[in-house]
């Protein structure tokens, strides 16, 4: 019964999500999980991603490698499990740049795997995305490979992740998995809260702030006019599209004068854009929506989503034994395990790749 660790750092730049997982055939058990927050200064450096110079990127790559290794070590301490019992670490790394549509398609995840392997002694699988790019794909999304393996055999269901960006995979026994980014996840809400609190708060804890304000439905319509929402899948996006300028364009000085209303509105809009994207682009009759990611803790967001998707039930992935914020780390633990076993861990039609590959580069563990 192989044990694997998954390490993930997402677009929110909130920290490292880590999970220790036991896989047995098509079932899994999460033994421990934790998110180690980044210090503010590091989160700010990571957000500057594409603007960093080579010496800074090089240093950040090693520094993050150390942090990933510490996150893995802390996880093992929590689980009272010695490193030698773990057969692989799947490390997604932190995406500094993703440019699948550039003249030379490229993608860059940092968090040096050699450091993680050296500190822990455990083999590390990292650099999942470049292989998909090399095979002609967009380099994303990769989590559907996990979704299909663990949820693909049931009725038609959507797996909705609420990270910085929100993405969905639709799976089911009678259909071919499809996946796309619906648009903003936590990113607009985080941005407004960070503005309101002058950086003292990073997110709207439990959605309390959003509940104090009034939703402006005209602003919701304006936000919805963004062309991204009309593009049919497959499609993916990043924080670049849903940034301060996007919010400023619609709210202008209200961001300063009535921040609670702006927060209430972007929270509603986030749920609205998910539900409307389903209506437009998912032709299947869904039996359930399984949500994951840090956004599950935002109760205001979840109650909007539940209402807007009714009568489809919206349930947290915790019901399936996976802690919400650990979903993507669990997925990368699985993808790494497959790579280590020399087995395909890739659904090429969800990324546009020409053939099914074994994604990831393997760094050996202790000699």
Ligand X SMILES: Nc1ncnc2c1ncn2[C@@H]1O[C@H](COP(=O)(O)OP(=O)(O)O)[C@@H](O)[C@H]1O
CB of 30 to ligand X, least distance (A): 15
Choose which of 7, 12, 144, 326 interacts with Mg ion (CB under 5 A).
12
CB of 43 to ligand X, least distance (A): 10
CB of 296 to ligand X, least distance (A): 8
Q: Which does residue 184 touch among Mg ion, ligand X, none (CB within 5 to 8 A, set by kind)? A: none
Residue 112 vs 204, nearer CB to ligand X: 204
What DSSP line would sit under 21-77, residue for residue?
Answer: EEEETTEEEEEEEEEEEPPHHHHHHHHTGGG--HHHHHHHHHHHHHHHHHHHHHHHH
Q: Is 138 in the site for ligand X (CB under 6 A)?
A: no
What DSSP line would sit under 127-157, residue for residue?
Answer: -HHHHHHHTTS-S---THHHHHHHHTTSSSE
CB of 301 to ligand X, least distance (A): 8
Binding to ligand X (CB under 6 A) within 197-236 occurs at 203-207
CB of 51 to ligand X, least distance (A): 19
Residue 273 vs 298, nearer CB to ligand X: 298
Q: Is 33 in the site for ligand X (CB under 6 A)?
A: no
* Token representation of residue 61: 């790559």
Q: Rg for the chain (alpha carbons), in Å?
A: 20
Choose which of 163, 209, 323, 365 interacts with ligand X (CB under 6 A).
163
* Token representation of residue 120: 């822990």
Residue 326 vs 362, nearer CB to ligand X: 326
Question: CA 71, CA 66: separation in Å to the nearest integer?
Answer: 9
Residue 12 vs 182, nearer CB to Mg ion: 12
Q: Which does residue 112 touch among Mg ion, ligand X, none (CB within 5 to 8 A, set by kind)? A: none
Q: Which does residue 123 touch among Mg ion, ligand X, none (CB within 5 to 8 A, set by kind)? A: none
The verdict on whether omega for the bond into residue 263 sits within 30 degrees of 0, i.e. cis, is no
Question: CA 308, CA 272: separation in Å to the nearest integer?
Answer: 7
Q: In the block, which residue shows the tokens 């927050």?
A: 37
Q: Which does residue 190 touch among Mg ion, ligand X, none (CB within 5 to 8 A, set by kind)? A: ligand X
Strands 86-99, 106-110: parallel, antiparallel or unpaired by DSSP?
antiparallel
- Give the range of 11-19, 90-98, 134-142, 304-312 binding ligand X by CB under 6 A: 11-19
Query: Contact, 347 vs 148, CB < 8 A?
Result: yes
Binding to ligand X (CB under 6 A) within 320-359 occurs at 325
Residue 194 vs 222, nearer CB to ligand X: 194
DSSP H helices in the chain: 40-47, 54-78, 113-120, 128-134, 144-151, 187-196, 208-212, 217-224, 244-251, 254-257, 259-281, 299-309, 327-340, 348-351
Query: Contact, 259 vs 214, CB < 8 A?
Result: no
Q: Which does residue 295 touch among Mg ion, ligand X, none (CB within 5 to 8 A, set by kind)? A: ligand X
Q: Is 292 in the site for Mg ion (CB under 5 A)?
A: no
Residue 14 vs 123, nearer CB to ligand X: 14
CB of 215 to ligand X, least distance (A): 18
- For the four alpha carbons of 359, 106, 139 and 328, in that order, the dihedral sign comes to positive
Binding to Mg ion (CB under 5 A) within 13-42 occurs at 14
- For the four alpha carbons of 38, 42, 45 and 50, in that order, the dihedral sign comes to negative
Question: CA 51, CA 245: separation in Å to the nearest integer?
Answer: 18
Q: Which does residue 209 touch among ligand X, Mg ion, none (CB within 5 to 8 A, set by kind)? A: none
Coil, strand, or helix at residue 241? coil
Q: Is 145 in the site for Mg ion (CB under 5 A)?
A: no
217 Cβ contact partners less than 8 Å away, ≥ 6 residues apart: none
- Give the range of 3-11, 42-50, 105-113, 349-357 binding Mg ion by CB under 5 A: 3-11
Residue 63 vs 288, nearer CB to Mg ion: 63
Q: Which residues bind ligand X (CB under 6 A)?
A: 10-12, 14, 17, 163-164, 186, 190, 203-207, 293-295, 297-298, 325
């Amino acid at each position: 019964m192989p044990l694997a660790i998954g390490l993930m750092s997402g677009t929110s730049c909130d920290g490292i999500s880590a999970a220790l997982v036991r896989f047995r055939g098509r079932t899994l058990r999460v033994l421990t999980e934790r998110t180690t927050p980044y210090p503010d200064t590091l989160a700010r450096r990571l957000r500057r991603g594409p603007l960093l110079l080579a010496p800074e990127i090089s240093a950040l790559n090693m520094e993050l490698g150390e942090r990933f290794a510490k996150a893995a070590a802390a996880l093992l301490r929590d689980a009272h499990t010695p490193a030698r019992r773990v057969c692989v670490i799947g490390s997604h790394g932190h995406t500094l740049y993703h440019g699948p549509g550039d003249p030379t398609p490229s993608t860059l995840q940092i968090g040096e795997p050699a450091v993680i392997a050296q500190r822990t002694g455990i083999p590390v699988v990292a650099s999942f995305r470049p292989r998909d790019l090399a095979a002609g794909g967009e380099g994303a999304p990769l989590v559907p490979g996990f979704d299909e393996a663990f949820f693909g055999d049931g009725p038609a269901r959507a797996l909705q992740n609420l990270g910085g960006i929100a993405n969905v995979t639709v799976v089911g026994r009678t259909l071919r998995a499809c996946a796309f980014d619906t648009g903003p996840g936590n990113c607009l809400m985080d941005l407004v809260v960070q503005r309101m609190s002058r950086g003292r708060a990073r997110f709207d804890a439990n959605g309390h702030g959003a509940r104090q304000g009034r939703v402006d439905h005209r602003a919701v319509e304006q936000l919805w006019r963004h062309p991204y929402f009309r593009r049919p899948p497959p499609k993916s996006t990043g924080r670049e599209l849903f940034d301060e300028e996007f919010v400023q364009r619609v709210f202008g000085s209200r961001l300063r004068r009535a921040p609670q209303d702006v927060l209430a509105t972007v929270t509603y809009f986030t749920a609205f854009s998910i539900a409307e994207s389903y209506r437009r682009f998912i032709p299947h009759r869904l039996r359930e929506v399984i949500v994951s990611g840090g956004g599950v803790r935002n109760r205001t967001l979840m109650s909007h989503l539940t209402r807007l998707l009714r009568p489809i039930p919206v349930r947290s992935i915790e019901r399936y034994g996976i802690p919400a914020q650990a979903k993507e780390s669990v997925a990368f633990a699985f993808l790494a395990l497959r790579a280590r076993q020399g087995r395909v861990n890739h659904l090429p039609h969800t990324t546009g790749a020409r053939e099914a590959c074994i994604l990831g580069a393997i760094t050996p563990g202790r000699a």
